């Protein structure tokens, strides 16, 4: 074979005596080089999609948007590019209050009807094999199998998002994902590329405040909220449009992990949240949420100092109160993880008659992306026919063929209109239930530009900061300290401090001093300083910011988890430490009292099986860990107490529970374990004020008091112990 032919087969060609590899761009890129599309055309705007007017819908002719998202959607197979790590369950949604004056959608008008649902929870950044508990936004997607076709609310556990326009989504995820040169870090945002992008994208600052809060460390799936994120439309029988935002409110209240717990759980049980939901449902329990809506008109929206089409903004509940209309109950586990949880394909375009989209430019990009990504992930255009994706209603159209076709349509007609074989399926008039888009008046120049009403990037970030309790602000500061301390490039760290200063100087200062930079406020609590917890909390409590883009509000209800009232202990897990000789009657009484409240007590023994005294241990103290439980109890039994006093792992449970603000109880001879523990040695005289610290002890189980303490979720403000400080 000649050298010319060989080079041609290998994808090379001769140019001025040199061989160039056409499959690899060997020319180093320069900052002076212009940005192009994949065919070399220079791009003038990579920040905005092409819209009909600055607030109009995104146009289908936007070839740059379609090329960019098309490439992004097909970058990885077979798992999802984002939301790869997911867990799901079946259940139903029951409507409690009709929205008939707002919509014709039967799922929202037929009170008492139970509509089947399939709900998937996920992390965003990690691969399918990553752990459950990183600091990450959680996907919260619900499919309703309605009598009018599938309806999907494809949302998150955060009500806002990082970006305002869908054209920036590939850049966001590229920055967030493991860095491409070494594929690290996994399921984490604590690295240079993510924070470089954020520091240069001010519109992300509101979302980053939520991301760094405890909201992205949910305790269980059923202790986190869900949001539809975007503003949608409802359309009634008269054709009148009302804007709507969807909120899922957990019946068990909103609770979180702390960061130290989260990191330890990743190693102790990376399937922690998945396992908790599976076991709860497998044992006859349920996960439950109320569905609430915010309903408002265009006239109301026009009065606010923010844009309802901006996905980086919330509508505070003070402006539009939540209206609870129904409840979702998850009560059945999947039969096959791959066939259901992995193959389910949600689409924001799955609406039923009586609903419609808005011109939110982030949503408009999603309307294209979700359909496109399934083509490569699920093998072709017939993915809708997989059992988990099929609607309950009959499908009738003229689509045929394609990879993995699963239905067999008889006859010769696959077109419309047709007169042969009885004719093809016919359109259904709107008056008889056919889908119709709201006839919104649209006009404007074709352009790539962001609406001026989208320009306030800090006002609602300040609103979020103001609405947090001092302990939540402390956790927020510590989260930024942790994340940015992992960033190796100093100018990126400093740029982020500059951005945080625009939200509040104290926030910026708390982060700056941890990074070795000059503070931005007069007073600051330095890491390892002498200020006690009370002084720190007072400083944080006084740090109010002047808000904007918030409807005139300084604070907003619903943003703070700590400000929400306790809602019982349903589905909580309590560790019961035991050894041979434990008081089996006490253990039974404790477990029964917990079960009566919907919680579960798990006996952790020094060995598996039946313990002397009658209690059965299905887990051991050494093969489990306190971070996997919400509280710890040491029951009576003299022999058991003596053994636990000599068990270093048992002492570690008490220390760990104290550190993370969890209730601790000791009953009968179990009090000897508490009094002789490493925790008691560190607390010293402070143990005399134990009840105020959430440490309970009595001769017999005082379960009413324990339940009340556990319902608080955390006991904040415990004196810090130097050996186990937070």
Which residues does the annotation mark as catalytic? Answer: 83, 156
Phi, then psi, of 406 in degrees rounded to 5? -115, -10
Residue 312 near residue 162 (C-beta atoms within 8 A): yes
Strand partners, 329: 92, 288
Q: Cβ(715)–Cβ(662) under 8 Å? A: yes
What is the DSSP annotation of 425-483? Answer: PPP--GGGT------------EEE---GGG---SHHHHHHHHHS-HHHHHHHHHHHHHH
Q: How far apart are CA 211 and CA 160, in angstroms?
A: 10
Q: What φ, ψ does residue 168 adopt, rounded to 5°?
A: -95, 0
The DSSP bridge partners found for residue 445 are none
SS3 label, residue 360: coil
Point out which residues pair with 724 in neighbouring strands. none
Residue 685 and residue 681: Cα distance in Å, rounded?
9
Contacts of 28 (CB under 8 A, 6+ apart): none
Instruction: Give the residue ranges of DSSP H helices in 10-104.
Output: 63-73
CA gyration radius for the chain? 28
Q: How far is Cα 174 from Cα 194, in angstroms, rounded to an integer?
A: 8
3-state secondary structure of 325: strand
- Torsion on CA atoms 273, 277, 278, 279, rounded to nearest 10: 100
Rounded CA-CA distance 521/517 in Å is 12
Name the 3-class secondary structure at 622: coil
What CA–CA distances, in Å, run from 474 to 228, 528, 546?
Answer: 28, 14, 19
Residue 173 C-beta-side C-alpha neighbours within 13 Å: 21
List CB contacts of 349: < 8 A, sequence separation 6 or more: 367, 370, 371
10 Å Cβ neighbour count for 489?
12
Q: How many CB atoms lie within 10 A of CB 647?
A: 17
Which of 621, 640, 637, 641 has the alpha carbon at shortest distance from 629? 621
Q: Tell me the C-alpha distance between 252 and 534, whole Å.
A: 30
Residue carrying structure tokens 């935002």: 245
- Residue 92 has which token pair? 């139903």
């Amino acid at each position: 074979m000649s050298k010319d032919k060989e080079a041609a087969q290998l994808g090379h060609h001769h140019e001025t005596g040199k061989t160039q590899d056409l499959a690899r761009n060997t020319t180093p890129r320069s900052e002076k080089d212009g940005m192009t599309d994949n065919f070399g055309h220079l791009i003038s705007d990579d920040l905005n999609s092409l819209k009909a007017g600055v607030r109009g819908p995104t146009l289908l002719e936007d070839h740059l948007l379609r090329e960019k998202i098309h490439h992004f959607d097909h970058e990885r197979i077979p798992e999802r590019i984002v939301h790869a790590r997911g867990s799901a369950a079946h259940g139903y949604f029951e409507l409690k209050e009709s929205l008939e004056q707002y919509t014709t959608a039967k799922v929202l008008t037929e009170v008492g009807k139970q509509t089947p649902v399939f709900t998937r929870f996920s992390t965003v950044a990690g691969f399918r094999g990553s752990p459950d508990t990183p600091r990450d936004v959680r996907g919260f997607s619900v499919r309703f199998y309605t009598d009018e076709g599938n309806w999907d609310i494809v949302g998150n556990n955060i009500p806002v998002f990082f970006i305002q326009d869908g054209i920036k989504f590939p850049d966001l995820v590229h920055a967030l994902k493991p860095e491409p040169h070494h594929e690290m870090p996994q399921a984490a945002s604590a690295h240079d590329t993510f924070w470089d992008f954020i520091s240069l994208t001010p519109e992300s600052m509101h979302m980053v405040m939520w991301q760094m809060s405890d909201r992205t460390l949910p305790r269980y799936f059923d202790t986190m909220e869900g949001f539809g994120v975007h503003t949608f439309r409802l359309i009634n029988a008269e054709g009148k449009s009302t804007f709507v935002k969807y909120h899922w409110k957990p019946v068990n209240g909103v609770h979180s992990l702390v960061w130290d717990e989260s990191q330890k759980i990743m190693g102790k049980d990376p399937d922690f949240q998945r396992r908790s939901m599976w076991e709860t449902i497998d044992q006859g329990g349920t996960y439950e949420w109320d569905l609430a809506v915010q309903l408002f008109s265009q006239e109301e929206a026009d009065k606010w100092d923010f844009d309802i089409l901006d996905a980086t903004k919330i509508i505070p509940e003070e402006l539009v109160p939540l209206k609870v209309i129904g409840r979702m109950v998850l009560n059945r586990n999947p039969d096959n993880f791959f066939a259901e949880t992995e193959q389910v394909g949600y689409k924001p375009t799955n609406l039923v008659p009586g609903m419609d989209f808005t011109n939110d430019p982030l949503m408009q990009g999603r309307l294209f992306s979700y359909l496109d990504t399934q083509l490569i992930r699920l093998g072709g255009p017939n993915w809708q026919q997989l059992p988990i994706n099929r609607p309950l209603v009959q499908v009738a159209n003229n689509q045929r063929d394609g990879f993995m076709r699963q239905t067999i349509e008889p006859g010769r007609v696959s077109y419309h209109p047709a007169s042969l074989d009885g004719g093809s399926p016919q359109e259904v008039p709107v008056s008889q239930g056919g889908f119709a888009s709201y006839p919104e008046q649209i006009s404007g120049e074709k352009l790539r530009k962001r609406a001026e009403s989208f320009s306030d990037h800090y006002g609602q970030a300040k609103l979020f900061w103001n609405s947090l309790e001092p302990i939540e602000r402390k956790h927020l500061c510590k989260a930024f300290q942790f994340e940015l301390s992992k960033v190796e490039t100093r100018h990126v760290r400093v740029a982020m401090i500059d951005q945080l200063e625009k939200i509040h100087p104290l926030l910026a200062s708390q982060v700056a001093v941890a990074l070795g930079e000059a503070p931005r406020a007069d007073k600051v609590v330095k890491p390892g300083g002498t200020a006690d917890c009370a002084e720190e909390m007072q400083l944080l409590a006084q740090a109010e910011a002047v808000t904007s883009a918030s409807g005139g509000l300084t604070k907003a209800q619903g943003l703070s988890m700590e400000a929400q009232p306790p809602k019982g202990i349903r589905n909580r897990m309590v560790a019961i430490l035991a050894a041979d000789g434990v008081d089996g009657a006490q253990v039974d009484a404790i477990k029964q009292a917990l079960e009566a409240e919907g919680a579960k007590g798990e006996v952790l023994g020094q060995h598996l099986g039946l313990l002397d005294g009658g209690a059965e241990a299905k887990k051991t103290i050494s093969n489990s860990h306190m971070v996997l439980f919400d509280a710890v109890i040491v029951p009576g039994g003299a022999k058991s107490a003596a053994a636990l006093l000599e068990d270093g792992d048992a002492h570690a449970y008490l220390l760990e529970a104290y550190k993370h603000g969890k209730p601790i109880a000791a009953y009968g001879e179990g009090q000897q374990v508490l009094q002789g523990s490493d925790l008691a040695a560190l607390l010293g005289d402070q143990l005399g004020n134990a009840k105020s610290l959430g440490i309970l002890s009595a001769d017999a189980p005082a379960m009413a008091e324990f339940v009340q303490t556990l319902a608080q979720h955390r006991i904040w403000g415990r004196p810090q112990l130097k050996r186990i400080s937070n």
